[in-house]
């Protein structure tokens, strides 16, 4: 078997068989197949596509390119949750304790952010002392003891995907449905969960700008998970404006904590309840959606979800008092209001631009080696459809550098659009995709 022949076969529109894909992934991971040949293959796939069998074979080959996490020492159904990412997406911080408080077993591997804001690991490190580096034995032990653990994803999980993604990123071959789906699902399958709940974002702040593309990606990933024997459910949710009000690591943690107290923004609370409902169903806790949501709501009301977050923080070396006293979380030295120069209604928010404001302030990574400032960001006071009078506060900006603050303020104001009539923001939940 030669890579040259496989490139020509794919270039001419023919499907690759499972053995050919396995050969290609094994060879590239081991360094036997050079970047220039794999780049040619990625471009051939980009233009000619992959069928369902090819996509499934690629996903499994990448999943098996490194360690496959064994969670068999944890009894019951283990449920994982994954988001395709967006601005203000702090969902895991609130959702995981909610679901765990209801009895779902969650052994989650998460990553750091690259771009707008930090990832789940960065946000959790807002708790002083919180650590995510642990052995597989410690990881398993913690899930068995408190029902929830979050650790950083190791380099040995789906290394083929890491190598391939870096190549796709510099060869303009990221935007292909099969390659996106296999990249996400290879890591999820390698992480060992029995069931997977996916949050697929759509809108101006999401990778999938068009809802039809997000639905197609959701269906592709649900199919891949099902073929691999994992119960998989996808929720397509809105990202035409930031999720909730807070954008920036510690600020997002504070908002997640407020949500666990029953005081969170409506859109964020709705998303957590929806994703949590399907986590409870996938985990075999309940079979009815209404009962699932009622249990999650009760976990907020009785404080058990908030206590579960404190348990998680304590178990992983952090200060649990910060869950109850958020002044112990990182805070910025400069806090400034951004006011409106006009009246009307917020008609549109350029969501990506709000994310860029956080990046400018230091709340995200421009490169993988960038240091994240956990204290900076923005808290929005007005969102799409809200009435605004001249002089009203649009947002509060948290910064540690006056020059960065000035640049972020200018970008923020340019991201807000106004009209004389009310604009409907649309539903938070677009649809739910399950294997029929």
- Token readout for 310 is 């404190």
pLDDT higher than 90, residue 69 = no
Average pLDDT in the 4-9 region?
Answer: 97
Instruction: Give the span between the Cα atoms of 35 and 320, in whole angstroms.
Output: 46
**What average pLDDT does the segment 258-277 reach?**
97
Q: Is the pLDDT score of 367 beyond 70?
A: no
Q: What is the pLDDT of residues 274-303, one digit of tens each?
A: 999 999 999 999 999 999 999 999 999 999
Does residue 78 register a pLDDT over 60?
yes
What percent of the chain is modeled with pLDDT above 90?
81
Region label for 144, one of left (φ > 0), alpha (ψ between -120 and 50) or beta (otherwise) = alpha
Give residue 115's pLDDT. 56
Catalytic residues: 82, 161, 168, 183, 187
State the pLDDT confidence band at 366, using cuts at 50, 70 and 90: low
Chain segment 215-224, per-residue pLDDT in tens = 999 999 999 9
Query: Is the pLDDT at 372 greater than 90, yes or no?
Result: no
Task: Sketch out the chain's domains with CATH numbers.
Answer: 3-49 (1.20.970.10), 79-325+430-434 (3.40.1030.10), 330-419 (3.90.1170.30)
- Asked if residues 119 and 145 have their Cβ atoms less than 8 Å apart, the reply is no
What is the C-alpha separation between 35 and 167, in angstroms, rounded? 7
Model confidence at 206, in pLDDT bands (50, 70, 90)? confident
Burial of 286 (0-12, 13-18, 19+ CB in 10 A): middle
Question: Lowest-confidence range among 34-43, 83-92, 153-162, 334-343?
Answer: 153-162
In the numeric block, the tokens 């891949």 are attached to 224
Cα–Cα distance measured from residue 130 to residue 124, given in angstroms and rounded to the nearest whole number: 7
Question: Is the pLDDT reported for residue 120 higher than 60?
Answer: yes
* Euclidean distance between CA atoms 208 and 212, whole angstroms: 9
Reported as a single tens digit per residue, the pLDDT across 377-401 is 999 999 999 999 999 999 999 999 9
Are 76 and 106 in contact by the 8 Å Cβ rule? The answer is no
**Mean pLDDT, the chain, whole residue set:** 93
Give the number of residues written for the chain. Answer: 436
Structural tokens at position 151: 């650790």
Q: Is the pTM of this model over 0.85?
A: yes
Overall average pLDDT of the 146-161 stretch: 87
pLDDT digits (tens, 9 = 90+) for 98-116: 999 999 999 988 876 555 5
State the Cα–Cα distance between residues 344 and 329, nearest whole angstrom: 36
CA-to-CA distance for 151 and 323, rounded, in angstroms?
A: 19
Spell out the residues 6+ positions from residue 11 whose beta carbon is closer than 8 angstroms to its own. Answer: 40, 44, 48
Distance set, CA 101 to CA 207, 267, 298, 306, 317 (Å): 31, 21, 10, 9, 20
At 157 the pLDDT is: 85
- pLDDT digit string, tens, across residues 302-313: 999 999 999 999
First and final C-alpha spacing in the chain: 38
Quick one: average pLDDT of 67-81? 92
- pLDDT tens column, 29-54: 999 999 999 999 999 999 999 999 99
How confident is the model at residue 274, as a pLDDT? 98
Assess contact for 104 and 147: CB atoms under 8 A.
yes
Q: Which long-range contacts (CB under 8 A, 24 or more apart) does 265-273 make?
A: 267/238, 267/243, 267/428, 268/90, 268/91, 268/94, 268/243, 268/244, 270/428, 270/429, 271/91, 271/199, 271/235, 271/237, 271/243, 271/428, 271/429, 272/91, 272/94, 272/95, 272/98, 272/296, 273/297
């Amino acid at each position: 078997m030669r890579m040259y022949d496989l490139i020509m076969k794919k270039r001419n529109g023919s499907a690759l068989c499972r053995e050919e894909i396995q050969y290609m992934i094994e060879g590239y991971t081991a360094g036997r197949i050079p970047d220039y040949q794999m780049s040619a293959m990625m471009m051939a796939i980009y233009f000619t596509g992959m069928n369902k069998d090819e996509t499934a074979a690629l996903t499994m080959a990448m999943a098996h390119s490194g360690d496959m996490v064994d969670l068999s020492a944890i009894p019951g159904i283990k449920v994982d949750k994954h988001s395709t990412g967006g601005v203000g997406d702090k969902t895991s911080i609130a959702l995981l304790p909610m679901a765990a408080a209801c009895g779902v077993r969650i052994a989650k591997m998460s990553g750091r952010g690259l771009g707008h804001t930090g990832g789940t690991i960065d946000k959790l490190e807002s708790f002083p002392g919180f650590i995510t580096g642990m052995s597989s034995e410690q990881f398993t032990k913690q899930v068995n003891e408190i029902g929830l653990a979050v650790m950083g994803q190791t380099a040995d999980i789906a290394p083929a995907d890491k190598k391939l993604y870096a190549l796709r990123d510099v060869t303009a071959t990221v935007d292909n449905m099969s390659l996106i789906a296999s990249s996400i699902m290879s890591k999820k399958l390698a992480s060992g969960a029995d069931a997977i709940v996916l949050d697929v974002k759509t809108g101006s702040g999401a990778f999938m700008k068009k809802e039809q593309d997000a639905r197609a990606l959701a269906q592709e990933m649900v199919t891949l998970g099902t073929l691999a024997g994992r119960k998989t459910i996808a929720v397509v949710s809105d990202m035409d404006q930031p999720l909730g009000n807070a954008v920036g690591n510690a600020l997002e943690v504070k908002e997640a904590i407020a949500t666990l107290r029953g005081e969170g923004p409506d859109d964020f609370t709705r998303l957590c309840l929806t994703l949590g409902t399907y986590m409870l169903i996938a985990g075999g806790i309940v079979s009815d959606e209404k009962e699932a949501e009622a249990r999650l709501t009760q976990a907020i009301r009785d404080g058990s979800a908030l206590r579960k977050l404190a348990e998680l923080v304590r178990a992983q070396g952090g200060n649990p008092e910060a869950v109850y006293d958020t002044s112990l979380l990182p805070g910025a030295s400069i806090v400034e209001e951004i006011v409106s120069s006009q009246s009307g209604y917020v008609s549109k928010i350029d969501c990506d631009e709000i994310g860029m404001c956080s990046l400018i302030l230091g709340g995200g990574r421009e490169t993988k080696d960038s240091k994240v400032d956990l204290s900076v960001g923005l808290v929005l006071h007005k969102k799409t459809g809200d009435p605004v009078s001249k002089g009203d506060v649009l947002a509060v900006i948290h910064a540690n550098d006056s020059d960065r603050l000035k640049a972020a303020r200018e970008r923020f104001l340019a991201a807000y659009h106004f009209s004389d009539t009310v604009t409907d923001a649309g539903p938070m939940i677009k649809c739910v995709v399950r294997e029929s």
